[in-house]
Chain A
Amino acid sequence: MQIALLGNPNTGKTSLFNSLTGSYQYVGNWSGVTVEKKVGSLRNGRDDLIDLPGIYSLNPLSKDEAVVSNFLLHESFEEMLNIVDASQLRRNLNLTIPLLEFGKPMVIGLNMTDVAKLRGIRVQEDYLSEELGVPVVPIIARSGTGIEFLEDELYEENAWRKPFKLDYGMAVENAIAALVKLMPKSFSAKRWLAIQFLEENRAVENFIYSVANESLLCKIRSELEEKLSKPPAIDIQDTRNKYIEHVIERVTIREKISRVTLTDKIDALATHKYLGLPIFLLLMYVMFMLTFNWLGFPLSDQLDRLFSGPLTSGLEELLGMIGASSFIHALVLDGIVAGVGGVLVFVPQIFILFFFISLLEDSGYMARVATVMDRVMQAIGLNGKSFIPMIIGFGCNVPGVMAARTVEQPKERLMTILLTPLMSCSARLPVYALFVGAFFTQNQAFVVLSIYLLGIILALLLAKLFSKTIFKQEESFFVMELPPYRLPQWTSLWRSTWDKGKGFVRKAGTFIFAGSVFIWLLTYAGPGGLDVPMDESFLALIGSSIAPLLAPIGFDNWQSSAALLTGFLAKEVVVSTMSIIYTVPDGTLQEVLATSFTPLAAYSFMVFILLYIPCLATIAAINKETGSRKWTLFSMAYALIIAYAVSFSIYQIGQWFIG
């Protein structure tokens, strides 16, 4: 059996999905985290639960929301699970009613009952169940309270569910009856289809215009509009509102409680007139210090010592014992251990960064950041909401680009997608870490922070430029729900951190593993045969053909050109490549690097790495999200041009200063 999970954003849908399916999913707090279609199998092993994006209404106002209407129109499923936030009943029922009209068996999970209680709202589930004619189970999705009862209801074939029918008044009902006759025979929820059509649901219109007579349908709707002397959608909404008020009146008991909640207190600080922005910057600073100086580097150091010490010597012994050839010996130690190990040592830093991003998302702070930043973003032709994809982009550009879907205005969305890759993702981190470790030991975090800031500043400048030239602005709007602050749960935090971070580990096992072997082979073989000196290898050959181009920006050695080429696959491969190229019997990679770059060239190189091109996976995401090859190519081209220009300026001006 297929069960669809539907509900408003921020109602705990993802938490419920996780506790019902026991699968690892991504849990977040800002409307827009659940963008992909996810299917999990329920614990009885027979039924599937399909997670749909959180929506306020079936009538899609953005691309994201059309997913649900299209799902109802085109997919087959047997049952609906509607999650309803007990503390926001009015808004939630606004979605429940059209879902009930769809006519499939439904179970309501009444969530956030703890929050409602704190606010002095008690929802009597038995009355609600009686009103709506479907089972209602009170739950607390976050702690798993009541989940067993919800499961029982889901699996049971209830005989007493009564069909739901709200009377919209004579005029509307007559129009519905007339429309139903015109609806395709094969579609069972004809009344629902008719009502949604009257409500001008765009996804439904698209569907029925392809199977029924458009002009007849529209004639009925415009005649109704004349009769009502207002759009039918408004009249239908009015009827629903009245009904919802009636239901709320009947099922809720309100107790008096004190008005100032914890959320209000935190908001007084987080969105304070003058302190809001400094607080955000301070949090970012702490996040970076923890990721780098305070926690990340020491941990990476330990790991590095483990790899280069016990692990390498252990493997060496093992290879000696089984009598491996010198080829295998070199492949394993110089290729795989150097390449994969060089990237893996940065796992602690990346997980710390992802942990903080998950924390920001889960706690509800992200929505405040969007609000605080809206004024600045508006000034450069973007939207406060564009800020969130960009922050996510610090973790990884791919989910960042995908999160741009929640920006409703098409041009702002496109700009957000194009600019998110300028946010320095965690895969670029190993490269910086390597270089600051070699050249800027005194102020590691500061230098890395300057690179991150450079990315942000460039994004802001380019946004301004783009919105003045390519994207002449249409009317822009901003509305952001600010969910109450919630203390994230450790398990769900860990899950979402792991969910984001595991991609990195997996990449190390597959992509980077294969890449390392390939790159190593290119260094091992050359026109002169196998086991040639590094400088006569194929990689050196390829690298040196590009090197002259890079001389003006500070690094004309073939090694860095080769590393940049391979970095297109994934930015951290740059580190693998360098680890392989610069393998030396004694001394660390960083010591060797110190002899091939000047500090200025190293900085220029880091800037180039930041900007020069989105990685392969990001480009695929951009292509998917924009649906346009033109914009995908644009995203690559402008990055390359900017990277060259900025690195060029830094290197040339820097040299002039140094003399």
Chain B
Amino acid sequence: MNLMDLELGEHAVIKDMSRMNKWLQQRLIQMGIRNNSKIYVKNRLPFGGPCMLDCEGQCLSIRNKDARCLEVERLSCK
């Protein structure tokens, strides 16, 4: 499943970033976001606008098409 399949506030861990745009992937890695980082979607803006994520205590926004390339795995509890 990817980031777009998560409900708002549902916690997950990142499993695979390799399908993302190369540049974006590098930037996320630089920001300390990588496989096994905990992540959840805070907010989705309307009309297909970007989604706001919280990853390990930092907040950032990316576009839906990129979010779709971010493979995650749902965390069972919480």
Cα separation A479 to B42 with both chains bound (whole Å):
15
Cα separation A378 to B60 with both chains bound (whole Å):
18
Tally of contact residues, B, Cβ under 8 A? 30
Q: B75 at interface (Cβ–Cβ under 8 A)?
A: no
Q: Which chain B residue lies CB-closest to A56?
A: B30
Q: A482 at interface (Cβ–Cβ under 8 A)?
A: yes
Q: Could you tell me if B31 and A56 are in contact, using CB atoms closer than 8 angstroms?
A: yes
Cα separation A267 to B24 with both chains bound (whole Å):
24
Cβ < 8 Å to B, chain A residues 464-488: 475, 477-484
Cα separation A264 to B9 with both chains bound (whole Å):
12
Q: Could you tell me if B46 and A274 are in contact, using CB atoms closer than 8 angstroms?
A: yes
- Chain B residues closer than 8 Å to A119, beta-carbon distance: 57
Q: Could you tell me if A374 and B61 are in contact, using CB atoms closer than 8 angstroms?
A: yes
Q: Could you tell me if B30 and A479 are in contact, using CB atoms closer than 8 angstroms?
A: no
Cα separation A91 to B48 with both chains bound (whole Å):
29
Q: Could you tell me if A91 and B45 are in contact, using CB atoms closer than 8 angstroms?
A: no
Q: Could you tell me if B27 and A56 are in contact, using CB atoms closer than 8 angstroms?
A: yes
- Chain A residues closer than 8 Å to B59, beta-carbon distance: 263, 267, 481-484
Q: Which chain A residue lies CB-closest to B26?
A: A61
- Minimum CB–CB distance for A2 against chain B, Å: 26
Q: Which chain B residue lies CB-closest to A367?
A: B61
Q: Could you tell me if B50 and A477 are in contact, using CB atoms closer than 8 angstroms?
A: no
Cα separation A604 to B26 with both chains bound (whole Å):
49
- Chain B residues closer than 8 Å to A480, beta-carbon distance: 50, 60-61
Q: Could you tell me if B56 and A90 are in contact, using CB atoms closer than 8 angstroms?
A: yes
- Minimum CB–CB distance for A405 against chain B, Å: 16
Cβ < 8 Å to A, chain B residues 9-40: 21, 23-24, 26-32, 34
- Chain A residues closer than 8 Å to B56, beta-carbon distance: 90
Cα separation A216 to B59 with both chains bound (whole Å):
42
Q: Could you tell me if A57 and B30 are in contact, using CB atoms closer than 8 angstroms?
A: yes
Cα separation A453 to B63 with both chains bound (whole Å):
27
Cα separation A327 to B61 with both chains bound (whole Å):
64
- Chain A residues closer than 8 Å to B27, beta-carbon distance: 56, 61, 479
Q: Could you tell me if A384 and B50 are in contact, using CB atoms closer than 8 angstroms?
A: yes
Cβ < 8 Å to A, chain B residues 37-78: 42-50, 52, 56-63, 66
- Residue in A274, A477, A483 whose Cβ sees the most chain B Cβ within 10 Å: A477
Q: A70 at interface (Cβ–Cβ under 8 A)?
A: no
Q: Which chain B residue lies CB-closest to A378?
A: B63
Cβ < 8 Å to B, chain A residues 257-306: 263-264, 267-268, 271, 273-274, 276
- Chain B residues closer than 8 Å to A478, beta-carbon distance: 50, 61-63, 66
Q: Could you tell me if A267 and B42 are in contact, using CB atoms closer than 8 angstroms?
A: yes
Contacts A90-B32, A378-B63, A480-B61 given; does A408 touch B23 at CB 8 Å:
yes
Q: Could you tell me if B50 and A374 are in contact, using CB atoms closer than 8 angstroms?
A: yes
Q: Could you tell me if B45 and A271 are in contact, using CB atoms closer than 8 angstroms?
A: yes
- Minimum CB–CB distance for B75 against chain A, Å: 15
Q: Could you tell me if B24 and A477 are in contact, using CB atoms closer than 8 angstroms?
A: yes
Binary interface profile of A, 538-559, with partner B (CB < 8 Å = 1, else 0)? Answer: 0000000000000000000000
- Chain A residues closer than 8 Å to B49, beta-carbon distance: 371-372, 374-375
Binary interface profile of A, 85-127, with partner B (CB < 8 Å = 1, else 0)? Answer: 0011011001000000000000000000000000100000000
Contacts A477-B24, A477-B66, A482-B61 given; does A371 touch B34 at CB 8 Å:
no
Binary interface profile of A, 50-66, with partner B (CB < 8 Å = 1, else 0)? Answer: 00000011010100000
Q: Which chain B residue lies CB-closest to A409?
A: B23
Q: Could you tell me if B31 and A481 are in contact, using CB atoms closer than 8 angstroms?
A: yes
Q: A596 at interface (Cβ–Cβ under 8 A)?
A: no
Q: Which chain B residue lies CB-closest to A93?
A: B32
- Chain B residues closer than 8 Å to A88, beta-carbon distance: 32, 57-58
Q: Could you tell me if A371 and B50 are in contact, using CB atoms closer than 8 angstroms?
A: yes
Q: A241 at interface (Cβ–Cβ under 8 A)?
A: yes
Contact of B21 among A91, A237, A375, A477 (CB under 8 A): A477
- Chain B residues closer than 8 Å to A378, beta-carbon distance: 63
Q: Could you tell me if A479 and B46 are in contact, using CB atoms closer than 8 angstroms?
A: no
Cα separation A179 to B44 with both chains bound (whole Å):
47
Q: Which chain A residue lies CB-closest to B44?
A: A273
Cα separation A116 to B62 with both chains bound (whole Å):
25
Cα separation A90 to B26 with both chains bound (whole Å):
16
Q: Could you tell me if B45 and A375 are in contact, using CB atoms closer than 8 angstroms?
A: yes
Cα separation A478 to B66 with both chains bound (whole Å):
9
Contacts A91-B31, A371-B61, A374-B49 given; does A479 touch B43 at CB 8 Å:
no
Q: Which chain A residue lies CB-closest to B24?
A: A477
- Chain A residues closer than 8 Å to B62, beta-carbon distance: 478-479
Contact of B43 among A237, A267, A274 (CB under 8 A): A267
Contact of A91 among B47, B58, B66 (CB under 8 A): B58
Q: Could you tell me if A477 and B63 are in contact, using CB atoms closer than 8 angstroms?
A: yes
Q: Could you tell me if A94 and B32 are in contact, using CB atoms closer than 8 angstroms?
A: yes
Q: Could you tell me if B30 and A94 are in contact, using CB atoms closer than 8 angstroms?
A: yes
- Chain B residues closer than 8 Å to A264, beta-carbon distance: 42
A-B interface, 10 closest residue pairs, ranked by CB to CB distance from nearest: A91-B32, A375-B49, A56-B30, A57-B30, A482-B59, A371-B61, A90-B32, A273-B46, A477-B24, A374-B50
21 A-B residue pairings within 8 Å (CB atoms)? A61-B26, A61-B27, A91-B58, A94-B30, A263-B59, A268-B43, A273-B45, A371-B49, A374-B50, A375-B48, A375-B49, A477-B21, A477-B23, A477-B66, A478-B62, A479-B24, A480-B60, A482-B59, A482-B61, A483-B59, A484-B59
Q: A271-B43, A408-B23, A479-B60 are in contact. List 19 more A-B contacts (CB 8 A).
A: A56-B27, A56-B30, A59-B26, A61-B26, A87-B57, A88-B58, A91-B31, A94-B32, A119-B57, A267-B59, A375-B46, A375-B49, A375-B50, A477-B66, A478-B62, A479-B62, A481-B59, A482-B52, A484-B59
